[in-house]
Every structure is written in C-alpha cells, then in structure tokens.
C-alpha cells in the first residue's frame, strides 16, 4: 500500500527515469536503436526495478499515466538525439492494460505530435500475453500502423503463443526472448529453436532481434544464422541518456 501511494507521487516528484539499452545491427555492428527501460529512484528504498513496480502500476491503473510519461520522454529524447545527428529509433515497452485502452492510438498520435518525432522512429513492444483477443488486437495494431509507428513482438518464444497470429498481425520485428538465447550454449534444442525462429521470421518478412546476448559465442552463432539485430550485456547494459551519449554514440 505504501509503495502504491509513493508510486502515485513518483511522476510529479520526478523520481522516474529512463535508461536506454542499445540495439545493434549484427551485420554492420552499428547502433540502430535504443530500448527505453524505466527505473524508479525511490527516496528511501533506492532504485526499484520495473519488474517490482510495473505489476503494481498495472493493478492500480497507474500504468496509464506512467506509460504516457515513458512514451513522451522516450520520444522527446530520441528527437534530441536525432537533431544531434544520431539516427536511432526508440523502442518503448507497452503493458497490456495500456494497449487495450480504447484510446491508446490517440495517446501515441498526440505524443508524436508533441515531440515532433518521425513516427517511423518509434517502435512499440508488445508481448503475446496481450494478444488474447485476436480480432481486437489486429484492429488496434492496424490503427497504430496507420500512424506510421513500428511494432515488435517482445519476449517471443516464451509463454504459449500461437504461431497463427504472426502472419495476421501487421508487425515489423520479432524479439527472441533472452531465456532462449541464454540456453543456446547448453542445449542443442534451444539452438535449433532459435535458428528456426529466425528462418520463420524472415519468411514472414519480419526483422529479428536477439535479446540478452552475453557472450561472443552467442553473437557468432546468431550472426552465422543471419539474425538481424541484437541487444545484451555483451554490447552494453541499459544506461542513462547522458551516459549513452558519451560511451556509445561517440565511439561510432
């Protein structure tokens, strides 16, 4: 209850911040985008990870204002980077409760206008847990695609997703869940699953992103099997906007 009340005030008290994790092209080694990941600097408890407060935000409905805060700040930051000459896209994680709001597309449209970010530079990450109502999901995705934004399926390969929706949803990217990438080393079956996901995605004209790359071996295997892009501690951990400017963009 205490945490819930604190979360209520967190936005106005400017305790929420975004960290960014680069997404790297496995062909060129260049940074093609960043994923925005929220953090909460609690005045007494220190940094609280989204895994611990996003569920509370979802239950209480606070995810709606928080989600809009994330969207606005991620777009605004990316616009600033673009004006400085860094050609990146920004990916924003979207919760089920946000995605199923009837005016979610209007929120996205408003934020794009406010920040003057090119819609093609914004990627929305949804998970298949929010695709229970297939027809409704398709219609929401179609409205979002009309705005010009890109859509990713996050955490792919976990849960009980049906492959059926992949060809029915107007999506752009498939992000392979990090658990599969981590298990590749020890498990031949997981290697096969990953390469099969890559081929399937390419056959459906989808761009494939591997999450959670931590070792050179994982990277080489993914490159050999033509995975398009990757994220993970092997490249860099998520970091604050000012730090990413110096340590990552400047290296290019």
- According to CB under 5 A, which one of 6, 105, 154, 228 is a site residue for Mn ion? 154
- According to CB under 5 A, which one of 6, 128, 154, 228 is a site residue for Na ion? 154
Q: How far apart, in Å, are the Cα atoms of 241 and each of 75, 133, 164, 248?
A: 12, 36, 38, 10
The smaller minimum CB distance to Mn ion, of residues 109 and 152, is found at 152
- According to CB under 6 A, which one of 7, 10, 32, 37 is a site residue for ligand G? 37
Which residues, numbered 38-57, are part of the site for ligand G (CB under 6 A)? Answer: 38, 49-51, 54
Pairing of strands 207-210, 150-156: unpaired
Residue span 123-142 as binding mask against Mn ion, x where in contact by CB under 5 A, dash where not: --x-----------------
What are 33's two structure tokens?
Answer: 């985008």
Q: How far is Cα 161 from Cα 177, in angstroms, rounded to an integer?
A: 13
Shortest distance in whole angstroms from residue 125 CB to Na ion:
7
The smaller minimum CB distance to ligand G, of residues 78 and 178, is found at 178
The smaller minimum CB distance to ligand G, of residues 19 and 85, is found at 19
Q: How far is Cα 219 from Cα 199, in angstroms, rounded to an integer?
A: 17
Segment contacting Na ion (CB under 5 A): 62-70, 135-143, 151-159, 199-207?
151-159
Concatenated DSSP letters of 72-137: HHHHHHHHHHHHTT---EEEEE--HHHHTSTTHHHHHHHHHHHHT--GGGEEEEEEGGG-SSHHHH
Which residues, numbered 111-140, are part of the site for ligand G (CB under 6 A)? Answer: none
- According to CB under 6 A, which one of 6, 123, 155, 228 is a site residue for ligand G? 155
Shortest distance in whole angstroms from residue 85 CB to ligand G:
26
Q: Give the rounded distance of the alpha carbon of 118 from its chain centre.
A: 17
Q: How far is Cα 150 from Cα 121, in angstroms, rounded to an integer?
A: 8
Phi, psi torsion values for 192, nearest 5 degrees: -65, -40
Pairing of strands 207-210, 16-25: unpaired
- According to CB under 5 A, which one of 6, 155, 228, 229 is a site residue for Na ion? 155
Question: In the complex, which residues of this chain contact Na ion (CB under 5 A)?
Answer: 154-155, 211
Question: In the complex, which residues of this chain contact ligand G (CB under 6 A)?
Answer: 21, 37-38, 49-51, 54, 70, 93, 95, 154-155, 178, 211-212, 214, 231-233, 238
Question: In the complex, which residues of this chain contact Mn ion (CB under 5 A)?
Answer: 93, 125, 154
């Amino acid at each position: 209850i205490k945490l819930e009340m604190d979360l209520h005030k967190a936005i106005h008290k400017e305790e929420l911040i975004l960290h960014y994790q680069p997404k790297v092209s496995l062909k060129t080694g260049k940074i093609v985008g960043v994923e925005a990941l929220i953090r909460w600097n609690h005045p007494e408890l220190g940094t609280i990870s989204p895994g611990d407060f996003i569920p509370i935000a979802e239950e209480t409905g606070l995810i709606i204002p928080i989600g809009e805060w994330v969207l606005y700040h991620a777009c605004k930051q990316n616009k600033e980077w673009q004006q400085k000459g860094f050609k990146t896209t920004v990916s924003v994680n979207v919760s089920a409760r946000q995605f199923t709001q009837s005016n979610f597309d209007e929120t996205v449209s408003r934020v794009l206008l406010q920040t003057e970010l090119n819609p093609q530079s914004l990627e929305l990450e949804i998970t298949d847990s929010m695709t229970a109502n297939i027809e409704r999901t398709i219609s929401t995705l179609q409205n979002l695609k009309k705005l010009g934004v890109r859509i990713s399926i996050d955490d792919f390969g976990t849960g009980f997703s049906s492959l059926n929706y992949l060809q029915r949803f107007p999506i752009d990217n498939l992000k392979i869940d990090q658990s599969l990438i981590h298990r590749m080393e020890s498990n031949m079956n997981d290697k096969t699953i990953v390469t099969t996901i890559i081929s399937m995605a390419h056959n459906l004209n989808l761009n494939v992103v591997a999450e959670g790359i931590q070792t050179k071996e994982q990277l080489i295997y993914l490159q050999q099997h033509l995975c398009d892009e990757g994220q993970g501690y092997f490249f860099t951990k998520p970091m604050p906007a000012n730090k990413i400017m110096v340590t990552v963009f400047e290296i290019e």
